[in-house]
Protein backbone atom coordinates (compact mmCIF):
# COMPACT_ATOMS: atom_id res chain seq x y z
CA UNK A 1 0.00 0.00 0.00
CA UNK A 2 1.00 3.53 -0.59
CA UNK A 3 0.44 6.43 1.76
CA UNK A 4 0.25 10.01 0.65
CA UNK A 5 1.09 11.90 3.79
CA UNK A 6 2.37 15.40 3.42
CA UNK A 7 3.40 17.49 6.37
CA UNK A 8 4.79 20.56 4.63
CA UNK A 9 4.18 22.51 1.44
CA UNK A 10 7.88 22.12 0.72
CA UNK A 11 7.21 18.48 -0.08
CA UNK A 12 5.41 19.40 -3.25
CA UNK A 13 8.42 21.07 -4.79
CA UNK A 14 11.26 18.91 -3.58
CA UNK A 15 13.85 17.80 -6.12
CA UNK A 16 13.12 14.14 -5.39
CA UNK A 17 9.78 12.99 -4.05
CA UNK A 18 11.31 11.18 -1.08
CA UNK A 19 14.47 9.37 -0.07
CA UNK A 20 13.34 6.16 -1.73
CA UNK A 21 12.99 7.91 -5.07
CA UNK A 22 16.39 9.53 -4.57
CA UNK A 23 17.90 6.12 -3.87
CA UNK A 24 16.45 4.75 -7.11
CA UNK A 25 17.97 7.61 -9.07
CA UNK A 26 21.28 6.88 -7.32
CA UNK A 27 21.11 3.27 -8.48
CA UNK A 28 20.31 4.43 -12.01
CA UNK A 29 23.34 6.74 -11.90
CA UNK A 30 25.60 3.85 -10.85
CA UNK A 31 24.25 1.69 -13.69
CA UNK A 32 24.88 4.48 -16.19
CA UNK A 33 28.42 4.87 -14.87
CA UNK A 34 29.16 1.16 -15.09
CA UNK A 35 27.60 0.48 -18.52
CA UNK A 36 30.66 1.31 -20.69
CA UNK A 37 32.78 -1.23 -18.83
CA UNK A 38 30.18 -3.95 -19.43
CA UNK A 39 28.93 -3.29 -22.95
CA UNK A 40 30.80 -3.34 -26.24
CA UNK A 41 31.75 -0.12 -28.00
CA UNK A 42 28.87 -0.33 -30.48
CA UNK A 43 26.23 -0.33 -27.75
CA UNK A 44 27.98 2.41 -25.79
CA UNK A 45 27.88 4.53 -28.93
CA UNK A 46 24.17 3.87 -29.37
CA UNK A 47 23.46 4.77 -25.74
CA UNK A 48 25.34 8.03 -26.27
CA UNK A 49 22.63 8.81 -28.82
CA UNK A 50 20.08 8.29 -26.03
CA UNK A 51 21.76 11.04 -23.98
CA UNK A 52 21.92 13.46 -26.91
CA UNK A 53 18.31 12.81 -27.88
CA UNK A 54 17.46 13.11 -24.19
CA UNK A 55 18.72 16.70 -24.18
CA UNK A 56 16.68 17.39 -27.33
CA UNK A 57 13.71 15.75 -25.63
CA UNK A 58 14.00 17.93 -22.53
CA UNK A 59 14.23 20.98 -24.77
CA UNK A 60 11.09 20.12 -26.69
CA UNK A 61 9.31 18.90 -23.56
CA UNK A 62 9.65 22.36 -22.02
CA UNK A 63 8.07 23.90 -25.09
CA UNK A 64 5.46 21.32 -26.10
CA UNK A 65 4.83 19.39 -22.94
CA UNK A 66 4.95 22.16 -20.38
CA UNK A 67 4.12 25.39 -22.21
CA UNK A 68 1.82 23.85 -24.80
CA UNK A 69 3.45 25.52 -27.83
CA UNK A 70 3.84 23.28 -30.85
CA UNK A 71 7.02 23.60 -32.88
CA UNK A 72 7.61 21.81 -36.17
CA UNK A 73 10.96 23.46 -36.74
CA UNK A 74 13.12 22.43 -33.85
CA UNK A 75 15.64 20.64 -36.05
CA UNK A 76 16.64 24.15 -37.17
CA UNK A 77 17.77 25.03 -33.63
CA UNK A 78 19.65 21.74 -33.43
CA UNK A 79 21.33 22.59 -36.72
CA UNK A 80 22.17 26.14 -35.68
CA UNK A 81 23.81 24.82 -32.52
CA UNK A 82 25.73 22.15 -34.42
CA UNK A 83 26.95 24.45 -37.18
CA UNK A 84 27.82 27.31 -34.84
CA UNK A 85 29.81 24.97 -32.61
CA UNK A 86 31.61 23.38 -35.56
CA UNK A 87 32.40 26.81 -37.04
CA UNK A 88 33.78 28.23 -33.79
CA UNK A 89 35.87 25.11 -33.23
CA UNK A 90 37.34 25.58 -36.70
CA UNK A 91 38.20 29.14 -35.78
CA UNK A 92 40.29 27.68 -32.95
CA UNK A 93 38.16 28.68 -30.00
CA UNK A 94 38.30 26.49 -26.87
CA UNK A 95 35.52 23.91 -26.54
CA UNK A 96 33.71 25.52 -23.61
CA UNK A 97 33.71 28.98 -25.22
CA UNK A 98 32.51 27.49 -28.50
CA UNK A 99 29.63 25.67 -26.85
CA UNK A 100 28.70 28.79 -24.91
CA UNK A 101 28.68 30.84 -28.11
CA UNK A 102 26.60 28.19 -29.89
CA UNK A 103 24.09 28.26 -27.05
CA UNK A 104 24.06 32.05 -27.14
CA UNK A 105 23.32 32.12 -30.87
CA UNK A 106 20.53 29.55 -30.67
CA UNK A 107 19.03 31.40 -27.70
CA UNK A 108 19.00 34.60 -29.73
CA UNK A 109 17.28 32.77 -32.60
CA UNK A 110 14.84 31.29 -30.12
CA UNK A 111 13.94 34.71 -28.80
CA UNK A 112 13.39 36.02 -32.32
CA UNK A 113 11.14 33.08 -33.20
CA UNK A 114 9.42 33.28 -29.83
CA UNK A 115 8.62 36.96 -30.26
CA UNK A 116 7.15 36.33 -33.70
CA UNK A 117 5.22 33.39 -32.30
CA UNK A 118 3.64 35.36 -29.48
CA UNK A 119 0.53 36.25 -31.41
CA UNK A 120 0.07 32.87 -33.03
CA UNK A 121 -1.61 29.82 -31.62
CA UNK A 122 -2.19 26.22 -32.57
CA UNK A 123 -1.81 25.40 -36.22
CA UNK A 124 -0.55 28.86 -37.18
CA UNK A 125 2.35 28.46 -34.79
CA UNK A 126 3.10 24.99 -36.15
CA UNK A 127 3.25 26.29 -39.71
CA UNK A 128 5.29 29.35 -38.75
CA UNK A 129 7.91 27.20 -37.03
CA UNK A 130 7.86 24.83 -39.98
CA UNK A 131 8.52 27.76 -42.30
CA UNK A 132 11.38 28.83 -40.03
CA UNK A 133 12.83 25.33 -40.22
CA UNK A 134 12.69 25.23 -44.01
CA UNK A 135 14.30 28.66 -44.33
CA UNK A 136 17.11 27.79 -41.91
CA UNK A 137 17.80 24.54 -43.74
CA UNK A 138 18.16 26.49 -46.97
CA UNK A 139 20.52 28.87 -45.18
CA UNK A 140 22.68 25.90 -44.15
CA UNK A 141 22.83 24.85 -47.79
CA UNK A 142 23.63 28.26 -49.25
CA UNK A 143 25.86 29.98 -46.68
CA UNK A 144 28.91 28.13 -47.91
CA UNK A 145 31.57 30.32 -46.33
CA UNK A 146 30.41 29.12 -42.90
CA UNK A 147 28.65 25.81 -43.41
CA UNK A 148 30.44 24.56 -46.57
CA UNK A 149 27.02 23.67 -48.02
CA UNK A 150 26.61 20.18 -49.38
CA UNK A 151 30.36 19.58 -49.19
CA UNK A 152 29.76 19.12 -45.48
CA UNK A 153 31.83 19.93 -42.46
CA UNK A 154 33.98 17.56 -40.44
CA UNK A 155 33.95 17.91 -36.65
CA UNK A 156 36.83 16.68 -34.48
CA UNK A 157 36.41 15.05 -31.11
CA UNK A 158 36.10 17.55 -28.26
CA UNK A 159 39.08 18.88 -26.31
CA UNK A 160 38.02 19.84 -22.81
CA UNK A 161 40.50 21.89 -20.72
CA UNK A 162 43.41 20.49 -22.70
CA UNK A 163 42.06 16.96 -22.37
CA UNK A 164 41.34 15.19 -25.65
CA UNK A 165 37.99 13.39 -25.35
CA UNK A 166 38.42 10.78 -28.03
CA UNK A 167 36.98 7.32 -28.13
CA UNK A 168 33.52 6.11 -27.32
CA UNK A 169 33.51 5.87 -23.52
CA UNK A 170 34.83 9.34 -22.60
CA UNK A 171 32.33 10.94 -24.94
CA UNK A 172 29.62 8.77 -23.38
CA UNK A 173 30.47 10.21 -19.95
CA UNK A 174 30.56 13.75 -21.32
CA UNK A 175 27.08 13.38 -22.84
CA UNK A 176 25.74 11.71 -19.70
CA UNK A 177 27.06 14.56 -17.56
CA UNK A 178 25.53 17.19 -19.84
CA UNK A 179 22.17 15.37 -19.80
CA UNK A 180 22.16 15.16 -15.99
CA UNK A 181 23.03 18.83 -15.79
CA UNK A 182 20.23 19.66 -18.22
CA UNK A 183 17.71 17.59 -16.31
CA UNK A 184 18.70 19.14 -13.00
CA UNK A 185 18.51 22.68 -14.37
CA UNK A 186 15.17 22.05 -16.05
CA UNK A 187 13.70 20.36 -12.99
CA UNK A 188 14.73 23.36 -10.92
CA UNK A 189 13.14 25.72 -13.40
CA UNK A 190 9.97 23.66 -13.46
CA UNK A 191 9.50 23.73 -9.71
CA UNK A 192 10.07 27.48 -9.59
CA UNK A 193 7.44 30.13 -10.43
CA UNK A 194 8.60 30.10 -14.06
CA UNK A 195 7.74 26.43 -14.48
CA UNK A 196 4.38 26.84 -12.82
CA UNK A 197 3.63 29.80 -15.08
CA UNK A 198 4.43 27.61 -18.11
CA UNK A 199 2.06 24.90 -16.95
CA UNK A 200 -0.61 27.49 -16.30
CA UNK A 201 -0.22 28.84 -19.84
CA UNK A 202 -0.49 25.32 -21.22
CA UNK A 203 -3.66 24.55 -19.33
CA UNK A 204 -5.45 27.81 -20.04
CA UNK A 205 -3.99 30.98 -21.41
CA UNK A 206 -6.91 33.03 -20.22
CA UNK A 207 -6.81 31.65 -16.70
CA UNK A 208 -3.05 32.20 -16.55
CA UNK A 209 -3.42 35.74 -17.75
CA UNK A 210 -6.12 36.41 -15.18
CA UNK A 211 -3.78 35.21 -12.44
CA UNK A 212 -1.18 37.73 -13.49
CA UNK A 213 1.08 35.59 -15.65
CA UNK A 214 2.66 37.73 -18.34
CA UNK A 215 2.07 35.60 -21.43
CA UNK A 216 4.57 37.40 -23.65
CA UNK A 217 7.40 37.12 -21.15
CA UNK A 218 6.89 33.49 -20.20
CA UNK A 219 6.29 32.27 -23.75
CA UNK A 220 9.46 34.02 -24.87
CA UNK A 221 11.40 32.49 -21.98
CA UNK A 222 10.09 29.05 -22.91
CA UNK A 223 11.18 29.49 -26.52
CA UNK A 224 14.57 30.88 -25.54
CA UNK A 225 15.27 28.15 -22.98
CA UNK A 226 14.13 25.43 -25.35
CA UNK A 227 16.32 26.81 -28.12
CA UNK A 228 19.29 27.09 -25.76
CA UNK A 229 19.01 23.42 -24.80
CA UNK A 230 18.68 22.51 -28.47
CA UNK A 231 21.87 24.44 -29.16
CA UNK A 232 23.64 22.49 -26.44
CA UNK A 233 22.34 19.22 -27.86
CA UNK A 234 23.41 20.40 -31.30
CA UNK A 235 27.00 20.89 -30.15
CA UNK A 236 27.16 17.31 -28.86
CA UNK A 237 25.27 16.10 -31.94
CA UNK A 238 27.96 17.64 -34.15
CA UNK A 239 30.67 15.67 -32.34
CA UNK A 240 28.68 12.47 -32.38
CA UNK A 241 27.81 12.57 -36.06
CA UNK A 242 31.31 13.91 -36.88
CA UNK A 243 30.22 15.19 -40.30
CA UNK A 244 27.58 17.88 -40.77
CA UNK A 245 25.46 18.12 -43.90
CA UNK A 246 22.49 20.47 -44.31
CA UNK A 247 19.92 17.79 -45.11
CA UNK A 248 20.26 16.20 -41.67
CA UNK A 249 18.32 19.04 -40.12
CA UNK A 250 15.19 18.70 -42.23
CA UNK A 251 11.51 18.53 -41.41
CA UNK A 252 11.72 14.79 -40.78
CA UNK A 253 14.22 15.45 -37.99
CA UNK A 254 11.79 17.93 -36.42
CA UNK A 255 9.03 15.36 -36.66
CA UNK A 256 11.24 12.74 -35.09
CA UNK A 257 11.91 15.06 -32.16
CA UNK A 258 8.18 15.64 -31.71
CA UNK A 259 7.61 11.90 -31.91
CA UNK A 260 10.16 11.54 -29.14
CA UNK A 261 8.24 13.69 -26.69
CA UNK A 262 4.85 12.25 -27.59
CA UNK A 263 5.88 8.61 -27.38
CA UNK A 264 7.78 9.34 -24.18
CA UNK A 265 4.87 11.09 -22.57
CA UNK A 266 3.98 14.76 -22.71
CA UNK A 267 4.37 16.82 -19.57
CA UNK A 268 7.08 14.90 -17.76
CA UNK A 269 10.87 14.91 -17.84
CA UNK A 270 10.82 11.14 -17.46
CA UNK A 271 8.92 11.09 -20.71
CA UNK A 272 11.69 13.02 -22.46
CA UNK A 273 14.28 10.45 -21.44
CA UNK A 274 12.05 7.44 -22.14
CA UNK A 275 11.23 8.87 -25.56
CA UNK A 276 14.93 9.38 -26.22
CA UNK A 277 15.57 5.73 -25.40
CA UNK A 278 12.83 4.78 -27.84
CA UNK A 279 13.95 7.02 -30.70
CA UNK A 280 17.65 6.27 -30.34
CA UNK A 281 17.35 2.52 -29.88
CA UNK A 282 14.54 1.64 -32.31
CA UNK A 283 16.65 1.81 -35.52
CA UNK A 284 19.40 -0.48 -34.15
CA UNK A 285 16.69 -2.80 -32.82
CA UNK A 286 15.09 -2.98 -36.25
CA UNK A 287 18.51 -3.66 -37.75
CA UNK A 288 19.06 -6.53 -35.32
CA UNK A 289 15.56 -7.95 -35.84
CA UNK A 290 16.05 -7.80 -39.59
CA UNK A 291 18.75 -10.42 -39.32
CA UNK A 292 17.57 -12.38 -36.33
CA UNK A 293 13.88 -12.89 -37.14
CA UNK A 294 14.44 -14.98 -40.31
CA UNK A 295 17.26 -16.92 -38.63
CA UNK A 296 15.30 -17.69 -35.46
CA UNK A 297 12.11 -18.56 -37.28
CA UNK A 298 13.82 -20.83 -39.81
CA UNK A 299 15.56 -22.58 -36.91
CA UNK A 300 12.18 -22.97 -35.24
CA UNK A 301 10.71 -24.23 -38.51
CA UNK A 302 13.52 -26.76 -38.80
CA UNK A 303 12.89 -27.95 -35.25
CA UNK A 304 9.12 -28.31 -35.62
CA UNK A 305 9.02 -29.20 -39.27
CA UNK A 306 6.52 -26.48 -40.21
CA UNK A 307 7.83 -24.87 -43.37
CA UNK A 308 5.33 -22.02 -43.24
CA UNK A 309 7.00 -20.39 -40.23
CA UNK A 310 10.33 -20.26 -42.02
CA UNK A 311 8.68 -18.65 -45.03
CA UNK A 312 6.97 -16.07 -42.80
CA UNK A 313 10.30 -15.29 -41.18
CA UNK A 314 11.99 -14.82 -44.56
CA UNK A 315 9.15 -12.57 -45.73
CA UNK A 316 9.39 -10.48 -42.55
CA UNK A 317 13.15 -10.10 -42.93
CA UNK A 318 12.67 -9.15 -46.58
CA UNK A 319 10.01 -6.60 -45.59
CA UNK A 320 12.18 -4.99 -42.90
CA UNK A 321 15.01 -4.70 -45.40
CA UNK A 322 13.02 -2.55 -47.85
CA UNK A 323 13.83 1.15 -47.92
CA UNK A 324 11.46 3.45 -46.06
CA UNK A 325 10.05 0.75 -43.80
CA UNK A 326 11.63 2.30 -40.73
CA UNK A 327 9.66 5.54 -41.22
CA UNK A 328 6.48 3.49 -41.55
CA UNK A 329 7.18 1.66 -38.30
CA UNK A 330 7.77 4.97 -36.55
CA UNK A 331 4.49 6.22 -38.02
CA UNK A 332 2.60 3.12 -36.90
CA UNK A 333 3.92 3.40 -33.36
CA UNK A 334 3.05 7.09 -33.28
CA UNK A 335 -0.52 6.37 -34.39
CA UNK A 336 -0.92 3.57 -31.87
CA UNK A 337 0.46 5.66 -29.02
CA UNK A 338 -1.84 8.59 -29.74
CA UNK A 339 -4.89 6.36 -30.08
CA UNK A 340 -4.26 4.02 -27.18
CA UNK A 341 -2.00 5.79 -24.71
CA UNK A 342 -2.00 9.57 -25.17
CA UNK A 343 0.21 10.00 -22.11
CA UNK A 344 2.96 7.95 -23.69
CA UNK A 345 5.41 5.55 -22.13
CA UNK A 346 5.62 7.49 -18.88
CA UNK A 347 1.83 7.48 -18.56
CA UNK A 348 1.84 3.71 -18.91
CA UNK A 349 4.59 3.45 -16.31
CA UNK A 350 2.59 5.57 -13.84
CA UNK A 351 -0.41 3.30 -14.33
CA UNK A 352 1.62 0.16 -13.75
CA UNK A 353 3.19 1.68 -10.66
CA UNK A 354 -0.17 2.73 -9.26
CA UNK A 355 -1.56 -0.74 -9.92
CA UNK A 356 1.04 -2.30 -7.68
CA UNK A 357 1.13 0.36 -5.01
CA UNK A 358 -2.64 0.26 -4.48
CA UNK A 359 -2.75 -3.41 -5.34
CA UNK A 360 -6.18 -4.79 -4.60
CA UNK A 361 -7.89 -1.43 -4.96
CA UNK A 362 -6.73 -0.31 -8.39
CA UNK A 363 -9.55 1.22 -10.36
CA UNK A 364 -9.23 1.30 -14.09
CA UNK A 365 -11.36 4.42 -14.29
CA UNK A 366 -8.79 6.47 -12.38
CA UNK A 367 -7.18 7.38 -15.66
CA UNK A 368 -10.27 7.37 -17.78
CA UNK A 369 -10.25 10.12 -20.32
CA UNK A 370 -13.14 12.50 -20.32
CA UNK A 371 -14.89 12.44 -23.64
CA UNK A 372 -15.60 15.93 -24.75
CA UNK A 373 -17.98 16.46 -27.59
CA UNK A 374 -15.71 18.84 -29.35
CA UNK A 375 -13.28 21.25 -27.82
CA UNK A 376 -13.00 24.15 -30.15
CA UNK A 377 -9.61 25.72 -30.63
CA UNK A 378 -10.96 28.31 -32.98
CA UNK A 379 -11.68 30.56 -30.04
CA UNK A 380 -8.78 31.68 -27.93
Partner 1 sequence: MTLNGLAVGCIYGLVALGFVLIYKATELVNFAQGDLLMLGAFVAYMAVVSWGLDYWMGFLIAAVAVAAFGALLDMTVLRRVIGQPQFAVVMLTIGLGAMFRTFASVTWGSEIYTLPTPFSGVTNIAGVTLSHQYLSIVAGTLILCGVLYAFFTHTRIGVAMQATSQNQLAAYYMGIPVKLIFSLVWAISAAVAAVAGILLAPVTLIDINMGLAVALKAFAAAVLGGFGSIPGALAGGIVIGLIELYAGATLPPGFKDTAPYIVLLAMLAVRPQGLFGTLGRKKV
Report the residue number, 141 or 169, with the smaller CB distance to partner 1.
Answer: 141
Torsion of CA 327, 331, 333, 334, to 10 degrees: 130
Closest CA to 136 of 14, 231, 13: 231
Report the residue number, 32 or 311, with the smaller CB distance to partner 1.
Answer: 311
Q: Does 215 bind partner 1 (CB under 8 A)?
A: no
Q: Does 30 bind partner 1 (CB under 8 A)?
A: no
Sign of the CA dihedral with 299 first, then 300, 303, and 309 last = negative
**Distance in angstroms (rounded) separating the CA atoms of residues 256 and 329:** 12
Report the residue number, 135 or 352, with the smaller CB distance to partner 1.
Answer: 135
Question: In sequence order, what DSSP letters do the residues of 21-58 get, joined into one string?
Answer: HHHHHHHHHHHHHHHHHHS-HHHHHHHHHHHHHHHHHH
Report the residue number, 323 or 360, with the smaller CB distance to partner 1.
Answer: 323
Single out the residue of 262, 273, 276, 279 in contact with partner 1 (rule: CB under 8 A): 262
**Distance in angstroms (rounded) separating the CA atoms of residues 328 and 241:** 24
Single out the residue of 2, 24, 138, 287 in contact with partner 1 (rule: CB under 8 A): 138
Report the residue number, 165 or 329, with the smaller CB distance to partner 1.
Answer: 329
Which run of H or of E encompasses 283? helix 269-304
Q: Is 373 helix (H, G, I), strand (E, B) or coil?
A: coil
Q: Does 368 bind partner 1 (CB under 8 A)?
A: no
Q: Does 338 bind partner 1 (CB under 8 A)?
A: yes
Q: Are 227 and 62 within 8 A, CB to CB?
A: no
**Distance in angstroms (rounded) separating the CA atoms of residues 179 and 183:** 6
Q: Does 376 bind partner 1 (CB under 8 A)?
A: yes
Q: Which stretch binds partner 1 (CB under 8 A): 224-232, 299-307, 356-364, 367-375?
A: 367-375
Q: Does 247 bind partner 1 (CB under 8 A)?
A: no
| Smallest separation, CB 212 to partner 1 (Å) | 16
How buried is 333 (Cβ within 10 angstroms: 0-12 exposed, 13-18 middle, 19+ buried)? middle
Single out the residue of 35, 39, 111, 120 in contact with partner 1 (rule: CB under 8 A): 120
Q: Does 322 bind partner 1 (CB under 8 A)?
A: yes
Q: Does 127 bind partner 1 (CB under 8 A)?
A: yes
Q: Which stretch binds partner 1 (CB under 8 A): 45-53, 83-91, 127-135, 156-164?
A: 127-135
Report the residue number, 109 or 183, with the smaller CB distance to partner 1.
Answer: 109
- Cα–Cα separations (whole angstroms), residue 164 to 94, 156, 161, 209, 358: 12, 10, 8, 50, 51
Q: How many residues bind partner 1 (CB under 8 A)?
A: 52
Single out the residue of 22, 335, 362, 366 in contact with partner 1 (rule: CB under 8 A): 335
Q: Which stretch binds partner 1 (CB under 8 A): 21-29, 132-140, 165-173, 231-239?
A: 132-140
End-to-end CA distance of the chain: 43
| Smallest separation, CB 133 to partner 1 (Å) | 9
**Distance in angstroms (rounded) separating the CA atoms of residues 6 and 125:** 40
Binding site for partner 1 (CB under 8 A): 64, 70, 116, 119-120, 122-124, 126-128, 130-132, 134-135, 138, 141-142, 206, 251, 255, 258-259, 262, 319, 322-325, 327-335, 338-339, 342, 371-380
Amino acid sequence: MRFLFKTAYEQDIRLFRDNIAAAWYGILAVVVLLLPSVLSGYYVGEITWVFIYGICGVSLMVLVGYTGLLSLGHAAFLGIGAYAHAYFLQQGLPWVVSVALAIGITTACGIVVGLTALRMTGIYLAIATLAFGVIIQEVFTRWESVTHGFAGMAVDSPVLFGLQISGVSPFYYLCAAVLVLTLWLTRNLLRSPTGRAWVAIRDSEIAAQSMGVNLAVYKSIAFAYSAALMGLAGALFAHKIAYLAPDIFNILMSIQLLLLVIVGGLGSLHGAVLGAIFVALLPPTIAILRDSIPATLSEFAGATGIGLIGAVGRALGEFLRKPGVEAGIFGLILVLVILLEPLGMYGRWVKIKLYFSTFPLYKRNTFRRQKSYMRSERLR
